[in-house]
């Protein structure tokens, strides 16, 4: 049975926590002041006080490593008021603050935090590209229902016809995929602004990631369809939207509660945040194994981190050396923990 009630409750909580003033830019291209350091944004790297971990009765039967708990988390910074959405890129962390509508750049070694640009109201994910030796950031603005492009101190609205955009990943060099949690669909958005629905009838889709061949979608509104997969080629070539409401062959994982963020780790495993009760958890699987066998169940998930933070966890990004960064949605503290890469044993 679908956990629609739980899904609606958590989505409602997220929306009520966010800023409620919705506005569309009057000018799609805004030339802003170049990034300047934000005052008093240097944090001290500390380790939280030890707390007794809650017994985890949901540990996967194939668990091969020691599960990290709240006591293993290190606080990176507590100086961004309401972070939401985070990406590690080129030895820096980028995160959006819904409190002051600012994108910040964080040095993950020192915690030094600088204002990067103003004008993004609320974002769950950030997608970086490196073009012509310059950094470009592509961000679905959840509050404004837009996709924005940031480059050289300029924020540009690419498209403004989205419906609760949450996740973003690439389809090809000129096209992004974006999940619409309110629209229950996946759309393809070109860098020039054209959009097309490519998957319909999802269940409150949130997290989104991809590898070279496959796209992975989190359905936060369904435990039975917690994570699904699709081939990129099929999405590139579709004329009409794929209806995903009854495609069991696309099941990747079943049985997860309120799955939100997804990412492919440096070890090529799929990592995802979800809930056990009210607590945020991060798990991982080998996506190839789960695709081949027609889907994995929740007891086959390798739990990596079991926290005492309130679900949903946000951010969820990795450095190249397997440091994992997370935060609880809208909470000021950003955490990191060293994760062991998977083994073949």
Bridge partners (DSSP) listed for residue 216: 209, 229
Q: Evaluate whether 28 touches 157 at the Cβ level (below 8 Å).
A: yes
Token duo for residue 289:
């194994």
Half-sphere exposure of 266 (CA within 13 A, CB side): 14
- pLDDT of res. 27: 40
Q: What is the pLDDT of residue 81?
A: 87
Which stretches of the chain score pLDDT less than 50? 1-8, 11-61
Q: Which residues of 144-179 are buried (b: 16+ CB within 10 A; e: fewer)?
A: bbbbbbbbeeebbbbbbebebbbbbbbbeeebbbbb
Note whether 323 and 304 are within 8 A (CB).
no
Q: What is the pLDDT of residues 279-302, one digit of tens each?
A: 999 999 999 999 999 999 999 999
The domain locations on the chain are 58-338
pLDDT at 63: 53
| Architecture of the domain made up of 58-338 | 6 Propeller (2.120)
C-alpha torsion 72→75→81→87, nearest 10? -80
Q: Decide: pTM greater than 0.85.
A: no
Q: What does the block give as tokens for 178?
A: 């974006």
| Bridge partners for 282 per DSSP | 273, 305
């Amino acid at each position: 049975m679908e956990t629609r009630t739980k899904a609606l409750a958590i989505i409602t909580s997220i929306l009520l926590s966010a800023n409620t003033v919705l506005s569309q830019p009057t000018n799609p291209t805004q030339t802003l002041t170049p990034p300047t350091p934000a005052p008093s944004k240097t944090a001290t790297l500390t380790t939280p006080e030890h707390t007794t971990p809650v017994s985890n009765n949901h540990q996967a039967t194939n668990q091969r490593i020691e599960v990290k708990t709240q006591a293993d988390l290190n606080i990176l910074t507590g100086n961004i008021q309401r972070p939401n959405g985070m990406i590690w890129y080129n030895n820096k962390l980028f995160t959006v603050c819904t409190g002051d509508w600012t994108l910040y750049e964080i040095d993950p070694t020192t915690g030094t935090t600088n204002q990067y640009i103003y004008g993004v109201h609320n974002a769950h994910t950030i997608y970086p590209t490196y073009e012509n030796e310059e950094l470009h950031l592509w961000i679905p603005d959840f509050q404004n229902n837009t996709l924005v492009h940031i480059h050289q101190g300029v924020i540009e609205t690419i498209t403004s016809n989205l419906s609760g955009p949450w996740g973003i990943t690439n389809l090809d060099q000129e096209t992004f995929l974006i999940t619409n949690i309110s629209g229950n669909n996946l759309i393809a958005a070109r860098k020039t602004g054209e959009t097309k629905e490519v998957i319909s009838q999802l269940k409150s889709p949130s997290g989104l990631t991809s590898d070279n061949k496959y796209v992975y979608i989190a359905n936060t509104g369904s435990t039975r369809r917690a994570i699904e997969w699709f081939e990129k080629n099929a999405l590139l070539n579709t004329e009409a939207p794929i209806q995903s409401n009854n495609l069991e062959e696309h099941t990747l994982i079943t049985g997860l509660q309120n799955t939100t963020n997804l990412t492919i780790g440096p070890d090529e495993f799929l990592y995802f945040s979800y809930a056990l009760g009210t607590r945020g958890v991060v798990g991982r699987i080998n996506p190839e194994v789960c695709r081949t066998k027609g889907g994995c169940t929740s007891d086959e998930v390798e739990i990596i981190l079991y926290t005492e933070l309130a679900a949903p966890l946000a951010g969820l990004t990795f450095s190249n050396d397997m440091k994992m960064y997370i935060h609880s949605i809208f909470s000021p503290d950003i955490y990191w923990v060293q994760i062991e890469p998977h083994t073949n044993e």
